[in-house]
Chains A and B, each alone.
Chain A
Amino acid sequence: MALFLVRRLLSAIPVLLVVSLMTFLIMWLVPGDVSAEIGGTDATAEQIAQIRAQLGIDRPILERALSWYGNLFQGDLGYSYLLGRSVVDAVLERLPVTLSLTALALVFATIIGTLLGILAAVRHNSWLDQTAMVAALVGLSIPDFWFGIVLIILFGVSLGWLPTGGFVPITEDVWGWARTMALPAFTLAITQMGVIARMTRSSMLDVLNQDYIRTARAKGMRGPTVIFKHALRNAMVPIITVVGVTTGVLLSGAVVIEQVFSLPGVGRLIIGSIQRRDFPVIQGGLLVTACVFVFVNIVVDMLYGVFDPRVRDDR
């Protein structure tokens, strides 16, 4: 298991290198730069040139790349002149909001999705199965950010049960935090709920047709024991794969959902920086998010090893 972990970690290195190169190149594509923004509308050409020299963006691309990588390895993502602080600080301050939103949505999606899938599989071809699968299909077809707006209109504006946006830190007020996070997390989860429900159903159906399930039932084991202990455990690997992919989708979905619900997360920071053309922050935000994603994938691979011993022996 330890060897598997080390190998998996090593294989992440080329991916991270490509990721960092991409983030750098994307920003290099950009026409225009932040100097006009800092200088203001009536800055002279000399002032602009001065700002550019100060920021180091007048130097050749290779030199900039080298210095960018040099700083990167020291954990320095640059400085945002528009925010007046280092990019690492700005991103790390926002990261907990994004991560808690993603985690909460993941919990919603996984629990509701698997339960729906198990229910559908156990009552195969019944009206329950049909309804669950139609619900899953509709769930994965609706655009989640739009669903969020509909929920705000319904629960925030019409019924007035929940706030229409904004954020309360969990450290200040747990109930307030739950009230501000409930709608965004549910919104973010809706698509993946459908995906997980469908995967769980088909994976469970595969397993439920196996001989050992019949044996377990023949031995006189109770239905729930067979389903949760024998069937679900073996149906877990494909489900985990989907949950792993889901985490990435949720992480990027959070960017949009934060915008809909005015949550101060990394996504909102990135979108705001796009409008301000504050490239160090965009780069930093992208890079951190991609790194979290790569890390999540490693964790998912580890989980395969836990549920399916064949995976760790193979490699």
Chain B
Amino acid sequence: MTAEIETLPEDGGSLRRQMRKARWRAFGVFLKRLVAHRSFLIGAIILVLFSAVALFADLLAPYAPNRNNYRFILMPPSAEFWFGTDGYGRDILSRVIYGTRVSLFIGVTVVLFTGILGTLLGTLASYVSWLDALIMRGLDGLMAFPGVLLAIALASALGPSEITVIIALTVTFTPRTARVVRAGVLVVKGMQYVEAAQAVGAGHARIIFRYILANALSPLIVQLTFVFAVSIIAEAILSFLGVGPPPPAPSLGNIIADGRTYIQEAWWIAVFPGLAIAFAVLGLNLMGDGLRDIIDPRQRNHR
């Protein structure tokens, strides 16, 4: 079998080229479907807008986010201060604009780390049988802490900072991600094309990366969209509770916490940063829904 393949180098080469072409074509079809999907498109536009605000914060913000101005304390929204000012006379619009940067940075980092760790643990658990029980029981234990409670505990133990939030959220969201990867890998592992690859003598690494992970990727991507959304909310919660980036930092949760203090006299402090969070999360949820529709066609007829 192998000998036959080796005797056909030219044909093998053109076959490979054809396969690559076919793969690109399939990817193109996938992209076209995504763009045609209304809720995915709306979500993507929202996310792009949010990211643009975060990236170009220096250009967009009318004032410095931490500049106190005691002449303009607790000003309601006006032409000068669109979102009003807080108890130090800081411009809420500028703080919210810089706040999106903190949210985006933490969201992206948590998605990245969760994706890597989740894939690693999930693949190990499904591929190395003696590790399976060990890893999964450990993750079950982590998941037994409801929601962000574990993140709150971890963040409080490690001390308030951005890094802390990233670590705490990664630890909190990795278990579910690892489960998704493990389930995906277990399905693909039993497929005939994996067996065929083993039969022609492909190594473990090649099988894992080329055949198994490539095909278990789609549920992971959907999962990570939701991790992104939840991280943005969770970051705000941690900041609000005082275990996130410490106060002068313009994180959206910190601004809401300021607003909680002035709830009687200045509604605008708390309202606008919350709207920014809701906007970003809505966009990510729309994207996640769209991706799931396209990747998992069983649910498509329901919308």
A contacts with B: majority SS: helix
> Known contacts being A140-B285, A255-B149, A290-B145, is A30 close to B157, with CB within 8 Å?
yes
B137 touches A150 (CB 8 A): no
> On chain B, which size bracket covers the interface?
35 or more
> Known contacts being A15-B144, A157-B264, is A270 close to B152, with CB within 8 Å?
yes
Does any Cβ of B come within 8 Å of A171's Cβ?
A: no
B149 touches A289 (CB 8 A): yes
Bound together, the chains give a CA A137 to CA B138 distance in angstroms of 33
A252 touches B263 (CB 8 A): no
A:1-59 near B, CB below 8 Å: 14-19, 21-23, 26-27, 29-31
What number of residue pairs across chains A and B have CB atoms under 8 A from each other? 140
Q: A124: nearest residue on chain B (CB-CB)?
A: B302
B146 touches A22 (CB 8 A): no
Does any Cβ of B come within 8 Å of A271's Cβ?
A: yes
Does any Cβ of B come within 8 Å of A90's Cβ?
A: no
Chain A residues within CB distance 8 Å of chain B: 14-19, 21-23, 26-27, 29-31, 137-138, 140-143, 145-147, 149-150, 152-153, 157, 164, 201-202, 205, 248-249, 251-253, 255-256, 259-260, 270-271, 274-275, 282, 286, 289-290, 293-294
B278 touches A141 (CB 8 A): yes
A271 touches B270 (CB 8 A): no
> Known contacts being A21-B141, A149-B260, A153-B271, is A282 close to B156, with CB within 8 Å?
yes
Does any Cβ of A come within 8 Å of B219's Cβ?
A: no
B contacts with A: majority SS: helix
Q: B289: nearest residue on chain A (CB-CB)?
A: A137
A18 touches B140 (CB 8 A): yes
**What are the residues of chain B within 8 A of A205 when measuring CB–CB?**
302
Q: B286: nearest residue on chain A (CB-CB)?
A: A137
Bound together, the chains give a CA A13 to CA B257 distance in angstroms of 39
B278 touches A143 (CB 8 A): yes
**What are the residues of chain B within 8 A of A282 when measuring CB–CB?**
153, 156
Bound together, the chains give a CA A164 to CA B267 distance in angstroms of 13
**What are the residues of chain A within 8 A of B271 when measuring CB–CB?**
150, 153
Q: How far is the CB of B245 from chain A (nearest CB, A)?
A: 16
A15 touches B277 (CB 8 A): no
**What are the residues of chain A within 8 A of B242 when measuring CB–CB?**
271, 275
> Known contacts being A146-B236, A255-B152, is A137 close to B282, with CB within 8 Å?
yes
Q: B152: nearest residue on chain A (CB-CB)?
A: A255
